[in-house]
């Protein structure tokens, strides 16, 4: 894989995401749908960013491009020092395994695996010993406060607990970037608040870079920076706190 | 398999039944092939009455024994009287073979224990019975049994690799002739078992025997023992051939069953595949997972089916007998292994296309499904 020089901001913080004139188009019924148009955005390492906007504004598509699970139609996209447009399918998969953790709105845990096994799953792609694997899984489960449920299957957990396991699965590989697509979208108010506190703590204590998609303004208050999209275009980019 | 236990159990059952059918049919085919295919070292000839196809109608004067013995190339001649409990093809027929006691004892000295052989020689109504027959009828030395109107005392069990011996009861020739006298066949035998000195002389000796009695009142037809069995088992061979087609059809069913199960499984897991891809699993990992699942279905189902077939054949201990000729059906580990191997191979084959589809699936499309 070819590594590019990531830019550095005036405070010496390395940029983790750099996109220039980023475009994403789909062809549907012979018609081109422009999901993202000329997105120019730079996110710093250690930031907690919320991508906001109404349904269909392109925020999940942008998150998917950051995660390397979708490819841009045009433009430049560097994530964690890697030009994602230049990677093959296999290289992209390998890059995802090491650089990105992804939290889904609907958790997407493997139903026939326990919480422990779900968290352990991505580590099988890493060349580490069984003992190291065990240590990392235990640490991840501990850090999301679900260690006592490690032997439970997803069907035996509440929505909030499932999302905690999903977050543990996302951070167990110690990725540079944690992406979350509406992480509280399927949870009640109390569970949602608990998950946001967890993400805030991970950001605060570990310096974890987090990019989160949400359309809920109260959820977005946990972020340092709000990026608003509308009809595929970046319409507002504000820093709400340091 | 844990995800949809009922569906998995049904697929496993289907694979197991298909492999059971294949293995059982192939065991029968193998038994017929073993009994009817001529081997290079074969030295056994059967002299039968010309144009007769049943032990009840094949009647040859016992006096032919001396004439056959004088033909060049003949090593030994044994007159045999055969009485069967059923002339038609059946799985439980008792074949009595009346043989001259001293000659038989000389040629089969290693086939039974000295004690059993001595017991058989000393008692006129005694029988040495083949291992298959003993197991089928649960007979042991000292028992009495009756079949085809013949009541005999079991002197012992005879061990032999020859299918004909395994399902037969060897009795004294005079005893069997006496027992069969009601039909007016005393002094008459059913066939002569002839051994030739040189396997290469089989055809020449057979021809010489038939020419010797061609003008006699009881002309003969002499064939290699395997050819004799093949002629008697013609109907069974046709049936086994047909059954073999069914066995192959069963294997096709394995392919269809597993392919269907895997395709259904993949369709219901498109999102999960996308999740795994998001975590960093590559196409080769996903394809391997699909193939392993197919392998598990075929392997476990095949193992159950092959094991069941082996157990059933071993416990049943049957022999296909027609016109006094027996073909023992023995369990075979080789066939069981082949059954499992074919089930695995077909299952993996059935999983290839779903594996390729899983490997090529795009993440976003999987989440949209």
- Residue A156 sits in a domain of what CATH number? 3.40.50.300
Please check whether residue A107 touches B, CB under 8 A: no
Residues on chain B touching A67 (C-beta within 8 angstroms): 278
- Residue A131 structural domain: 46-72+89-239
- Answer yes or no: do B90 and B160 share one domain: yes
Contact B280 A97 (CB under 8 A): yes
Whether B104 and B196 map to the same domain: the answer is yes
- Same domain assignment for residues B355 and B271: yes
Q: Which of A64, A90, A121 sits opposite B282 (nearest CB)?
A: A90
Residues B303, B213 share a domain: no
Q: Which residues from A are below 8 Å from B281, CB to CB?
A: 93, 97, 125
Is residue A82, in this structure, part of any structural domain at all? no
* CB spacing of A69 vs B278 below 8 angstroms: yes
Instruction: State yes or no: pLDDT of B184 exceeds 60.
Output: no
Of B23, B29, B9, B44, nearest in space to B206 by CA? B44
Substitution target in B265, B280, B289 with the highest count of A β-carbons within 10 Å is B280
Residue A21 lies in a domain: no
A128 interfaces chain B, CB cutoff of 8 Å: no
Whether B107 is covered by a domain: the verdict is yes
Whether B147 and B283 map to the same domain: the answer is no
Angle A87-A75-A15 from CA coordinates, rounded to 5°? 75
B292 touching chain A per CB within 8 A: no
Q: Is residue A14 part of a domain?
A: no
Do A14 and A6 touch, CB atoms closer than 8 A? yes
What are the counts of helices (DSSP H) followed by strands (DSSP E) for chain A? 7, 10
Q: Do A93 and B271 lie within an 8 Å CB cutoff?
A: no
What domain count does chain A have? 1
- Asked if residue A125 is part of any domain, the answer here is yes
Kindly determine whether residue A121 and residue B272, on different chains, have CB atoms separated by under 8 Å: no
Same domain for B67 and B189, yes or no, is: yes
Least CA distance to B275: which residue of chain A? A108
How far A172 CA lies from chain B's nearest CA (Å)?
A: 11
3-class SS of residue B6: helix
Q: State the nearest Cα–Cα gap between A92 and chain B, in angstroms.
A: 8
Look at residue A53 and tell me if it is in a domain.
yes
Query: Is A97 in contact with B364 (Cβ distance < 8 A)?
Result: no
Q: Are residues B63 and B210 in the same domain?
A: yes
pLDDT score recorded for residue B135: 81
Rounded Cα–Cα distance for residues A90 and A14 (Å): 26
Global pTM value = 0.72
Cβ neighbors of A233 (< 8 A, separation 6 or more) are A36, A37, A38, A39
Contact between A91 and A1 (Cβ < 8 Å) = yes
- The answer to whether A93 and B281 are in contact (CB under 8 A) is yes
Q: Within 10 Å of residue A127's Cβ, how many Cβ atoms?
A: 6
Three-state DSSP class for residue B86? coil
Claim to verify: residue B28 and residue B59 sit in the same structural domain: no
What range does the domain containing B306 cover? Answer: 5-36+235-368
CA B224 to chain centre: 19
> For A175, which residue in chain B has the nearest alpha carbon?
B279
Is B225 a domain residue? no
User: Residues of A numbered 149-208 whose beta carbons fall under 8 angstroms of chain B's beta carbons: which are they?
Assistant: 169
Q: Which of A158, A97, A155 is nearest to A127 (CA)?
A: A97
| A120 vs B367, more confident | A120
Residue at A117 is within a domain: yes
Better-scored residue on pLDDT, B124 or B3: B124
B278 vs A89, A96, A111: nearest CB: A96
Per-residue pLDDT at B285: 94
| Structure tokens that stand for A199 in this block | 């993400």
Which tens digits make up the pLDDT trace of A72-111?
999 999 999 899 999 999 999 999 999 999 999 999 999 9
Q: Is B84 helix (H, G, I), strand (E, B) or coil?
A: strand
Query: What is the C-alpha separation between B173 and A212, in angstroms, rounded?
Result: 98
Q: Which residues on chain B are in Cβ contact (under 8 Å) with A95? A: 280
Question: Are B205 and B348 contained in the same domain?
Answer: no
* N-to-C CA span, chain A: 34
Residue where one domain finishes, among candidates B218, B244, B271: B218
B251 and B196 in a single domain? The answer is no
pLDDT over threshold 50, residue B181: yes
Please give the mean pLDDT across all residues of chain B.
Answer: 85
Whether B187 is covered by a domain: the verdict is yes
Q: Are residues B56 and B31 in the same domain?
A: no
How far is the C-alpha of B166 from the C-alpha of B129, rounded, in Å? 7
Give the tens place of pLDDT for each residue, A23-75: 999 888 888 899 999 999 999 999 999 999 999 899 999 999 999 999 999 99
Based on the fold, state whether residues B20 and B61 are members of the same structural domain. Answer: no
Determine the residue of chain B that is closest to A63 in CA distance: B364
Domain annotation covers residue B41: no
> Nearest by CB to A112, which of B2, B281, B364?
B2
- Answer whether residue B229 is part of any domain: no
| Burial environment of residue B188 by CB neighbours within 10 A (0 to 12, 13 to 18, 19 or more) | buried
Residue A183 is assigned to a structural domain of this protein: yes
Distance from CA of A151 to the nearest CA of B (A): 16
How many domains is chain B built from?
2
Long-range CB pairs of B173-178 (<8 Å, 24+ gap) are B173/B62, B173/B79, B173/B80, B173/B81, B173/B98, B173/B99, B173/B100, B173/B101, B174/B98, B174/B124, B175/B98, B175/B124, B175/B125, B176/B81, B176/B83, B176/B96, B176/B97, B176/B98, B176/B150, B177/B81, B177/B98
Q: Mean per-residue pLDDT for A182-187?
A: 90
């Amino acid at each position: 894989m070819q590594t590019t020089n990531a830019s550095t901001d005036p405070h010496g913080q390395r940029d983790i995401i750099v996109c220039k004139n980023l475009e994403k188009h789909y062809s549907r019924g012979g018609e081109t749908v422009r999901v993202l148009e000329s997105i120019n955005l730079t996110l710093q390492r250690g930031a907690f960013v919320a991508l906001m906007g109404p349904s269909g504004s392109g925020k999940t598509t942008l998150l998917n491009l950051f995660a390397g699970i979708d490819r841009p139609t045009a433009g430049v996209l560097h994530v964690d020092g890697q030009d994602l447009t230049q990677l093959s399918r296999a290289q992209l998969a390998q890059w995802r395994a090491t650089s990105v953790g992804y939290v889904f709105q609907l958790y997407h845990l493997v139903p026939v695996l326990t919480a422990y096994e779900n968290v352990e799953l991505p580590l099988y792609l890493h060349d580490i010993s069984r003992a190291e694997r065990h240590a990392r899984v235990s640490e991840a489960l501990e850090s999301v406060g679900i260690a006592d449920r490690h032997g439970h299957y997803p069907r035996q957990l509440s929505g909030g607990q499932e999302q905690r396991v999903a977050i543990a699965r996302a951070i167990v590989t110690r990725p540079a970037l944690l992406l979350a697509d509406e992480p509280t979208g399927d949870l009640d108010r109390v569970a949602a608040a608990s998950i946001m506190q967890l993400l805030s703590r991970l950001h605060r204590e570990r310096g974890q870079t987090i990019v989160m998609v949400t359309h809920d303004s109260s959820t977005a208050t946990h972020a340092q920076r709000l990026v608003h999209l509308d009809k595929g275009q970046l319409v507002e980019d504000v820093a709400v706190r340091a | 398999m844990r995800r949809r236990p009922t569906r998995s159990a049904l697929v496993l059952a289907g694979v197991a039944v298909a492999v059971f059918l294949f293995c059982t049919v192939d065991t029968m085919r193998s038994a017929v092939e073993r009994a009817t295919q001529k081997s290079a070292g074969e030295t056994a000839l059967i002299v039968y009455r010309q144009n007769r196809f049943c032990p009840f109608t094949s009647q040859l004067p016992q006096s032919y024994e001396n004439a056959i013995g004088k033909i060049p190339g003949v090593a030994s001649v044994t007159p045999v009287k055969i009485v069967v409990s059923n002339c038609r093809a059946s799985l439980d027929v008792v074949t009595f073979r009346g043989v001259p006691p001293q000659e038989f004892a000389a040629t089969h000295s290693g086939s039974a224990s000295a004690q059993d052989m001595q017991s058989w020689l000393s008692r006129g109504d005694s029988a040495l019975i083949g291992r298959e027959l003993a197991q089928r009828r649960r007979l042991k030395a000292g028992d009495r049994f009756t079949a085809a109107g013949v009541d005999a005392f079991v002197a012992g069990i005879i061990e032999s690799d020859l299918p004909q011996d395994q399902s037969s009861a060897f009795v004294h020739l005079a005893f069997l002739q006496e027992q069969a006298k009601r039909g007016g066949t005393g002094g008459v035998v059913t066939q002569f078992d002839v051994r030739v000195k040189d396997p290469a002389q089989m055809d020449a000796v057979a021809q010489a025997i038939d020419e010797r009695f061609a003008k006699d009142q009881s002309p003969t037809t002499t064939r290699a023992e395997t050819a004799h069995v093949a002629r008697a088992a013609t109907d069974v061979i046709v049936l086994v051939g047909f059954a073999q087609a069914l066995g192959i059809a069963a294997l096709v069913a394995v392919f269809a069953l597993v392919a269907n199960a895997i395709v259904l499984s993949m369709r219901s897991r498109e999102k999960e595949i996308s999740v795994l891809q998001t975590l960093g699993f590559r196409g080769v990992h996903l394809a391997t997972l699909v193939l392993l699942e197919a392998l598990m279905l075929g392997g476990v189902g095949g193992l159950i089916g092959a094991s069941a077939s082996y157990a059933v054949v071993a416990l049943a201990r049957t022999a296909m007998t027609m016109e006094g000729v027996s073909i023992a059906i023995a369990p075979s580990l080789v066939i069981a292994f082949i059954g499992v191997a074919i089930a695995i191979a077909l299952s993996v084959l059935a999983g290839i296309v779903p594996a390729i589809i899983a490997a090529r699936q795009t993440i976003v499309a999987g989440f949209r499904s």
